[in-house]
Structure 1
Amino acid sequence: MSGVGLDATATGVSLRELHRLEELEEVYRLLVEIWQSEPGNAPISVELMRALSHAGNYITGAYLDGRMVGASVGFLAAPAGRALHSHITGTTLGNGVGFALKQHQRLWALDRGLDTITWTYDPLVRRNAHFNLAKLGAFPTEYLPSFYGVMGDAINAGDESDRVLATWPLTVPHVVAAAAGTPYAVDVPVNAVVGLRDRDGRPAPGRTDAEIVLIDLPADIETLRHTDPSTARAWRQALREVLGGLMARGAQVVGFHRKSSYVVRLPA
């Protein structure tokens, strides 16, 4: 594999595939720390990672000064011979570690003749949406209500686990440019309407009767789940109805605007 992206070099992070049992145990401990999971409710087990690794799937650790600061686990997916599904990726640091992991994953997939990586993420989390759509150039392609059921870890705080499926086409020009450090930006026409607005911290449904619809996200849904659970639930339901409803009718999410809003194109 040739290189892992500029961020890995800039931050001094090294990345390597993991196979040994003690390495997988370290991944397990890192992910439990990040998700603050209860005993018996870890994001993924050592045994499953062992099986995935042995079967030729993707498990990689990111290290800074010899200490693991990030990890990613993925498995080969449909369509066979073309796709990798990235099941979980987590880091304890910012500074480009997540970006370096995803670029390592991208090159790993390309080296094996794959052209697509998919993963799920919580569509309410602004920073994740910006990272996935702008920094990487992926697109949400399916809205999945309560995909994992109710999740009791510290990050999800008992919220319903609505997810979107992100699809990352690895060789298209804007993804290649994003890998080189140029985030993907989409032009928003002046006649775009706002389908869901952040009004004083609460969701306010708006219009969806134009070609381009903007959908705002709350500033920090993870904190809101702990400080104001009822408002967090209102955001979940509103996004499910507006974004989920539009995607169910064939609308496409084509970008993320000003680090705060999905840009959605309605079908003609």
Structure 2
Amino acid sequence: MATEGGQVSEPVVRELRDVEDMEDVRLLFDRIWGPDPGGAAVTVELLRALAHSGNYVAGAYQGGTLVGASVGFLGRPAGEVLHSHITGAASGRGIGLALKLHQREWALRHGLARITWTFDPLVRRNAHFNLAKLGARPEEYLTSFYGPMDDAINAGDESDRLLAVWRLAEAHPAVAVPAGTPMALGVRDGLPVAGAVDGAGTVLVALPEDIEGMRRRDPGAAKAWRHALREVLGGLMVAGGRVTGFHDKSYYVVERGAL
């Protein structure tokens, strides 16, 4: 919503408890993900139960209108982790960040040390937001984590995810990438190309510019990226590599394990 001066007002984030608010969240998520008719990204009953049992359900508002929401539940070890299951925002700058900062404040207030969530490792903007802006770090590559998904965003693709861990008391400064750092996975004519990294301790893993558009335009190329990233990034992580940053809004930075 715009103020009198034409500027967009800052989103206001608050915890949600009422059934009416939960219905607004359900409708917002359905508009974002476009589930099959009769399905829902989340149900009102589940949201109500999560909030009532002390978990995290929050909404972001601009001018009294719900423009974003986030849902999480307490994880293990007990008393240490909030797992952020689903976060969605209408188009507009700053909504996702406002939700994450509110989530961080909530977690700290409840004595929690970290927040975890999963995200599609092929989506550049999400990788940049999670790693470069928030300072979370991927700690596990999860192959086909949710199984087949039929919503408008994920349909036709496999549900590989990275488990992001946001350690709330730790700072993550920007990672310096030396010139000449080799590409474990690069791009040629829009397609993934594995590179020779020899004994390099630090490598880069590229992402396509717009995997969501690619899924619609060229499903075969999108599948090639999915499998290449699974093999290269997933393989590096299984071998002990640590993802330490996201460089130039395009590349995962991976510190390899013992060579």
- Pick the TM interval, shorter chain: over 0.9
Amino acid at match of 1:48: L
How far has the Cα of 1:215 moved from its partner?
0.3
Which residue matches 2:233? 243
Identity over aligned pairs, percent = 60
Which residue matches 2:16? 18
Please give the secondary structure, in 1, of the residue aligned with 2:157: coil
Which residue matches 2:189? 200
The 2-side partners of 1:191 and 1:232 are apart by 28
TM-score (norm 1): 0.91
Please give the secondary structure, in 2, of the residue aligned with 1:34: helix
Please give the secondary structure, in 1, of the residue aligned with 2:253: strand
Please give the secondary structure, in 1, of the residue aligned with 2:101: helix
Q: Is the 8 A contact 2:135 2:171 kept in 1?
A: no
- 2:77 is equivalent to residue 79 of structure 1: yes
1:118-129 map, 5 Å: 118-129=116-127
Amino acid at match of 1:199: R
1:80-159 map, 5 Å: 80-159=78-157
How far has the Cα of 1:197 moved from its partner?
0.6
The 2-side partners of 1:34 and 1:94 are apart by 13
Amino acid at match of 1:106: R
How far has the Cα of 1:11 moved from its partner?
4.0
Q: Is the 8 A contact 1:157 1:226 kept in 2?
A: no
How far has the Cα of 1:94 moved from its partner?
2.7
Which residue matches 1:172? 170
Q: Is the 8 A contact 1:157 1:225 kept in 2?
A: no
Amino acid at match of 2:111: G
List, as ranges, runs of 4+ consecutive aligned residues in structure 1 with deviation greater than 6 Å.
none
Q: Is the 8 A contact 1:11 1:95 kept in 2?
A: no
Amino acid at match of 1:205: A
Which residue matches 1:162? 160
Picking from 59, 62, 78, the partner of 1:61 is 59
How far has the Cα of 1:229 moved from its partner?
0.2
- 2:219 is equivalent to residue 229 of structure 1: yes
How far has the Cα of 1:189 moved from its partner?
2.1
Which residue matches 1:6? none
The 1-side partners of 2:246 and 2:9 are apart by 26
1:20-72 deviation digits (Å, cap 9, x = unpaired): 01100110000010011112332211111111111000000000011100000
Q: Is the 8 A contact 1:197 1:216 kept in 2?
A: yes
Q: Is the 8 A contact 1:196 1:205 kept in 2?
A: yes
The 2-side partners of 1:205 and 1:11 are apart by 45
TM-score (norm 2): 0.94
How far has the Cα of 1:191 moved from its partner?
4.4
The 1-side partners of 2:107 and 2:142 are apart by 25
Please give the secondary structure, in 1, of the residue aligned with 2:47: helix
Aligned length: 250
The 2-side partners of 1:224 and 1:26 are apart by 31
The 1-side partners of 2:155 and 2:185 are apart by 23
Please give the secondary structure, in 2, of the residue aligned with 1:173: coil
- RMSD between superposed Cα atoms in Å: 1.1
**Unaligned stretches of 5+ in structure 2?**
1-7
The 2-side partners of 1:42 and 1:223 are apart by 23
